[in-house]
Every structure is written in C-alpha cells, then in structure tokens.
Amino acid sequence: MTHPTRRLVLRTSLGAAAAGTLVRPDPANAQAKATATPTPTHGGVISMHSYAFPPPNWHPHCTNTVQVISYSGIYNQLVEYNPETEDQADIRGDLATSWELSKDGRAYTFHLNPKARWHDGKPVIAADVVYSLDSMVDAEAKPPRVVTLPALSPYYEKGTARAVDAHTVEVPLKIPNAPDFVPTLALDFCKIIAKHWGEADIDHQKWENAMGSGPFKPGKFVKDVSIELVKNKDYWKPELPYIDGMVHYTIKDKGTAIAAFKTARVLTSNWAVSNLDSKELEQLEKEAGDQTE
C-alpha cells in the first residue's frame, strides 16, 4: 500500500557534487548551515526514490503518475505551476510568454517564446501546440489518453485550435470563461510534443526515442532498476537547468528504501506517494535527524 510522503528530502550540496556523485551532509556544520543564507549553486545529480517502476509507455499523453515524474523534465508545457513560489495557485508561462482571453470569453490566445527549440534543434511552433492539444483529447488514440482526455476534453474540442502565425495559437473553449482551463494546462501531464516527432515512423514507446523541448534528455535506462535524465546543454532557457541530471531508482522493499535514505544513496522521493507508511516515515525522519526536512 502506498502512502503520502512527509516532504522527505535529504539535504545535499548539489553544487559540490560531481555528476553521479552524492555529497554526504556534514552534521558538524548543520547548525551553521541552518542559520546562514544559502548560496545558490549549480551542478550535481539528484538521486530519487520511486516506489514502482513505470510501465513501458513513454508517450507523454499516455501516462500515469509514476511515468510523468520519470519523464517530466524532457518536455515543456504552455504554462506551468511556478516551482519558485510557495503560492500553489501561481501559474507562469513555460513555452508561452503570455496569453489572453478574448472579450467574449470564448477563446484563449497563447504567444510562444520564439527561442524555444526541440532537442533536434528545430523551432517549437504553433502547429506543434495545435497537434499536441488534439493529441491530448483524441478519443480514438491508441494507446488511450487515460489522463489527458478526461482532464482537458471538458474545455477543448479536438480540431478547433488554430495557428494564427508561427508563434501564436488560438484555442476556442467549449465553456466560455472556463476558469479551470489554464490551471488544467499547467498540470504536469499536459506536455507539448513536436508534430514532426508525433508523425514520425518510430516507436514512440521506447525511452531512447523520447524527444521534447525541455531541460533534460533521456539517459541510461535499466529496466526495473533506474531511469536517468541528463542535462540538455542546448536548452533554450540558458539559465536552466540548475542540475546536471537526475536518476530515479525503483526501490520496492521498505527496508532497502529506508537504508538508502539513511546512507544518502537517494536524496528525495520523486512523487508525493511512497511505499513507506506514515509511522515508518516519521521514524526515518527521527533517525536521519538533520539530514532530512
């Protein structure tokens, strides 16, 4: 049985970590670090605990919660929940630099960042967004859109969005002034994919074929063991990503998971659900002391 986590995060110095190296916190400096103003640093690899290995399905519109965390950094969205604020309702642009609702409340217009690029170097354009929205609500798609279809279809009808120009998309609404449309687009599974990738004659379910416009690219894949994402050095947001990569380790055994956290082999859980129950998480927090928060 899985349970919600208690923000179990092992403190580490990512800036001091070489790629693939975990830095063990120094208990002697814990109090000083707690009172000092942290200095942002770049680099390092985050190791994450996953309670289950994702099913072999890597198309971002055919997903479950385990999968979406594993591949999230490969893709972008039109908008996203701002990870740099404590306001859980704060939404900011991702691929979109701005957007507005028409005066009659019947359509949104999104303006894309002209710097956005796919991993193969081609520009992200309005036609990609139209293709992605239609893919999300495609009732006849195989594999089925088990998450995006019920989430987005109340607001958007396939075939109605249009590219106004290369970097402008108009999206009509089923429900005028729908207040939940933009927040739904900000959910992590509403990924924008390249039209030329979606239409390519490749196996879109293979991890090595995954391609997006995001800050990470697919790395090493070890079935039932781990999934790696590596830094996209040509990311169109030059200040990002802050880290060199992340590895999602599947640890189903509770004792092994607890030991991995205690010895800093994993630094955080990759999802708000764990295979540890509440008492086990509380005990781990007590035993790990200053290592966790």
Decide which of 238 and 5 is more confident: 238
- Residue 68 reports pLDDT greater than 80: no
Residue with tokens 């942002």: 40
pTM of the model: 0.82
So where are the chain's domains?
A: 1-51+215-293, 73-204
Q: Read off φ and ψ for residue 181, nearest 5 degrees.
A: -65, -55
Contacts within 8 Å (CB) and 24+ apart, 172-177: 172/106, 172/107, 173/105, 173/106, 173/107, 173/108, 176/104, 176/105, 176/106, 177/101, 177/105
| Structural tokens at position 120 | 């193969």
List, for residues 183-229, the tens digit of each pLDDT value. 999 998 899 999 999 999 998 888 889 999 999 999 999 999 999 99
- Inter-helix orientation angle 278-288/254-262, to 10°: 20
Q: What pLDDT was estimated at residue 284?
A: 76
List, for residues 121-167, the tens digit of each pLDDT value. 999 999 999 999 999 999 998 888 988 999 999 999 999 999 999 99
- Indicate the range of 40-44, 94-98, 108-112, 253-257 predicted with least confidence: 40-44
Is domain 1-51+215-293 classified as CATH 3.40.190.10?
yes
Q: What pLDDT was estimated at residue 132?
A: 98
Separation of alpha carbons 183 and 69, rounded Å:
18
Amino acid (1-letter code) at residue 168 = T
Report the length, in residues, of the chain: 293
Confidence class for position 255, pLDDT limits 50, 70, 90: confident
The CATH topology of domain 73-204 is Dipeptide-binding Protein; domain 1 (3.90.76)
Compute the mean pLDDT over every residue in the chain, rounded to the nearest whole number: 83
